[in-house]
């Protein structure tokens, strides 16, 4: 770090502010500690600061000076502990965050240093400190290291250990669901089978426990390339035993490699993996929440599946211009139920995107993609809405084009807008052709070093060319509109522990009443991350 950075690190050492509630002996210890610090006698200064604390002095400035003295003495963990206490003071917060970055950097943790430097950069108390933080961030991102013998020794000691990296996260919470089974809100006549009486859905509310667990192990065998294995498990567990059919659990294992190389304003990233995923849940009837049945045979496991296949992603950036591509192919193996056709199918996707940053605060991205779902056992629809068993398997081909724009308003606030148009072709008779228009808005704001607010919302309109409501040719063409709004507010209790408040609202509107519903989900949870 430059000499000016060190000067800022000790800028407040020489400032003597009165501790109005402390005894004179404590003030004297504090002043003597400052004198010893100015003479580069850091251990002696720490002794005096400790004596000041024992005498009753407990001020943010004492914690700050103690933290900087620990930093100068090479005790980076203790420096961090004292500086975090000092950061509770609004007057010292920005400077304390900057020095926390210095301590983490000296300890060899660049990721942690970047996090603290960004906190210091994004606060407006002192533009000088913000500029120093920007310089530190740029130096770290360019891979430059300070000529610090202590740090270099630390790197040498950890070089062998850093070949292997292990990270994990865990999120658990408690939530409320206003429509557990996605039930239609109004009674309706099932025109797919009009001989049935009026159907009166039962909308159920309930509480649930959401969880999200993940871990990743990386072996960095080459300078720019590493191999990894990652696992993630998510799910919802409903508290009412009568609502256990709504429980859902998902698992995914990824094995692959990562290639990342930076040079000046150029950056290349290549990610490849093989993925294996599993989904477990109940195929329930939304009208009553009970497992579905056909002819008295339970088909509640019909929608459980395993998914596996390769996934390759490429990104290249040259200054303001960026290009990228994605290719993946999955096999979906659904649980076999003899009385109904299987949902087994193949999924292929290829996409290209290009983006351009007009300024440091604005970005425009264009994406084109083509993907397909090819079912082996699910028969295609005839133009009259029937689905004879002897028909070829369903094949849907999709072409999508999207435009994404993002604009940063301040250092801690940005918003984005996306429009996407997807054209689906039913390759047999065109019955399920549609055009989907997607509009999405997103907003991010960090009102403080510990706070984050995320807002997003989208609206989708499906235009079916040939499909009928209830698949009944006596009815008009099927209509479908969907909307979703998400809000997440999080607070970082510690650098690794956060508390999060989340809310989601879904609204499905269609002239096929079987798929029309609205639903709200709200949860409070805790997240632990270990990088």
pLDDT band at 272 (very low <50, low <70, confident <90, very high): very high
pLDDT band at 6 (very low <50, low <70, confident <90, very high): very low
Q: Is the pLDDT of residue 268 over 90?
A: yes
Contact in structure between 128 and 94 (CB atoms under 8 Å): no
Instruction: Quote the pLDDT of residue 5.
Output: 47
- Rounded CA-CA distance 426/423 in Å is 10
Instruction: Quote the pLDDT of residue 26.
Output: 85
Q: Comparing 3-158 with 163-530, is the CATH topology the same?
A: no
Q: What SS3 class is residue 100?
A: helix
Instruction: Quote the pLDDT of residue 123.
Output: 81
- Mean pLDDT, residues 260-266 taken together: 83
Q: Is the pLDDT of residue 184 over 50?
A: yes
Highest mean pLDDT among 155-169, 355-369, 505-519: 505-519
List pLDDT tens digits, range 123-138: 867 888 888 888 888 8
List pLDDT tens digits, range 34-85: 988 888 888 889 999 988 888 888 899 999 999 999 998 888 988 999 999 9
The H or E element spanning position 50 is helix 42-54
- Rounded CA-CA distance 46/13 in Å is 12
Query: pTM score, two decimals?
Result: 0.71
Residue extents of the structural domains in the chain = 3-158, 163-530
Beta pairing class for 393-410 and 451-468: unpaired
Lowest mean pLDDT among 145-149, 284-288, 391-395, 482-486: 145-149
CATH superfamily name and code, 3-158: Tetratricopeptide repeat domain (1.25.40.10)
Q: Write down the residue that tokens 């005790």 correspond to.
A: 75
Instruction: Quote the pLDDT of residue 198.
Output: 92
* 294 Cβ contact list (under 8 Å, min separation 6): 339, 340
Instruction: Quote the pLDDT of residue 467.
Output: 97
- R_g of the chain computed on alpha carbons: 29
Instruction: Quote the pLDDT of residue 16.
Output: 38
Q: What SS3 class is residue 75?
A: coil
Q: Is the pLDDT of residue 318 over 50?
A: yes
Instruction: Report the CATH number of the 163-530 domain.
Output: 2.40.160.40
**Of 263 and 24, more confident:** 263
* 254 Cβ contact list (under 8 Å, min separation 6): 228, 229, 230, 231, 273, 274, 275, 276, 311
Contact in structure between 389 and 375 (CB atoms under 8 Å): no
- Rounded CA-CA distance 85/62 in Å is 10
pLDDT band at 24 (very low <50, low <70, confident <90, very high): low
Contact in structure between 41 and 9 (CB atoms under 8 Å): no
- Rounded CA-CA distance 97/8 in Å is 12
Which of 324, 325, 327 has its CA nearest to residue 311? 327
- Mean pLDDT, residues 231-245 taken together: 96
List pLDDT tens digits, range 154-167: 444 444 445 668 88
- Mean pLDDT, residues 97-111 taken together: 88
Q: Is the pLDDT of residue 197 over 70?
A: yes
| Cβ count within 10 A of residue 27 | 17
349, exposed or middle or buried, with CB in 10 Å at 0-12, 13-18, 19+?
middle
- Mean pLDDT, residues 83-101 taken together: 90
Q: What SS3 class is residue 134?
A: helix
Q: Which pair of structure tokens corresponds to residue 379?
A: 């028969």
**% pLDDT > 90, the chain:** 64
Contact in structure between 276 and 308 (CB atoms under 8 Å): yes
Q: Which pair of structure tokens corresponds to residue 446?
A: 């960090």
């Amino acid at each position: 770090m430059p000499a000016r950075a060190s000067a800022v690190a000790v800028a407040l050492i020489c400032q003597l502010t009165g501790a109005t509630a402390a005894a004179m002996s404590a003030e004297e210890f504090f002043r003597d500690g400052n004198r010893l610090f100015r003479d580069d006698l850091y251990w002696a200064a720490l002794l005096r600061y400790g004596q000041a604390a024992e005498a009753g002095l407990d001020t943010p400035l004492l914690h700050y000076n103690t933290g900087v003295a620990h930093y100068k003495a090479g005790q980076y963990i203790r420096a961090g502990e004292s500086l975090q206490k000092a950061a509770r003071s609004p007057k010292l917060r920005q400077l304390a965050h900057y020095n926390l970055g210095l301590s983490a950097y000296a300890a060899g943790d660049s990721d942690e240093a970047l996090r603290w430097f960004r906190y210091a950069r994004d606060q407006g108390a002192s533009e000088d400190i913000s500029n120093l933080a920007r310089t530190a961030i740029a130096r770290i991102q360019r891979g430059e290291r300070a000529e610090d013998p202590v740090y270099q020794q630390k790197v040498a000691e950890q070089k062998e250990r850093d070949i292997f990296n292990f990270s994990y996260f865990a999120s658990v919470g408690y939530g409320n669901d206003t429509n557990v089974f996605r039930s239609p809100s109004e009674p309706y006549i099932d025109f797919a089978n009009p001989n049935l009486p009026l159907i009166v859905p039962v909308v159920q509310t309930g509480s649930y426990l959401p969880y999200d667990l993940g871990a990743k192990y990386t072996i960095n065998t080459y300078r720019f390339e590493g191999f990894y294995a990652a696992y993630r498990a998510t799910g919802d567990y409903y508290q009412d035993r009568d609502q256990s059919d709504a429980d859902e659990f998902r698992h995914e294992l990824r094995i692959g490699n990562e290639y990342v190389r930076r040079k000046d304003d150029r950056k290349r990233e290549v990610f490849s993996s093989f993925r294996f995923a599993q989904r477990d849940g109940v195929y329930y009837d939304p009208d009553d929440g009970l497992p579905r049945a056909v002819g008295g045979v339970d088909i509640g496991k019909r929608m459980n599946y395993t998914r596996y296949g390769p996934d390759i992603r490429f990104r290249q950036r040259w200054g303001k211009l960026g290009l990228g591509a994605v290719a993946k192919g999955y096999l979906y193996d659904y649980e076999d139920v003899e009385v109904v056709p299987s949902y087994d199918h193949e999924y292929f996707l290829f996409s290209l995107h290009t983006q351009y940053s007009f300024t440091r605060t604005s970005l425009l991205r264009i994406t084109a993609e083509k993907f397909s779902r090819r079912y082996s056992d699910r028969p295609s629809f005839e133009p009259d809405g029937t689905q004879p068993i002897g028909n070829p398997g369903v094949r849907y081909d999709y072409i999508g084009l999207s435009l994404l724009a993002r604009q940063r308003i301040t250092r801690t606030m940005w918003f984005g807008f996306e429009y996407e148009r997807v054209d689906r072709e039913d390759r047999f008779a065109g019955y399920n052709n549609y055009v989907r228009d997607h509009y999405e808005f997103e907003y991010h704001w960090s009102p403080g070093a510990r706070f984050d607010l995320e807002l997003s919302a989208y609206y989708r309109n499906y235009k079916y060319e040939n499909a009928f409501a209830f698949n009944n040719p006596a009815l008009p063409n099927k209509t479908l509109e969907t909307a979703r709004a998400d809000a997440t507010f999080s607070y970082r209790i510690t650098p690794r522990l956060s508390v999060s408040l989340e809310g989601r609202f879904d609204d499905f509107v269609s002239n096929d009443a079987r798929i029309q519903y609205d639903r709200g989900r709200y949860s409070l949870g805790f997240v632990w991350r270990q990088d």
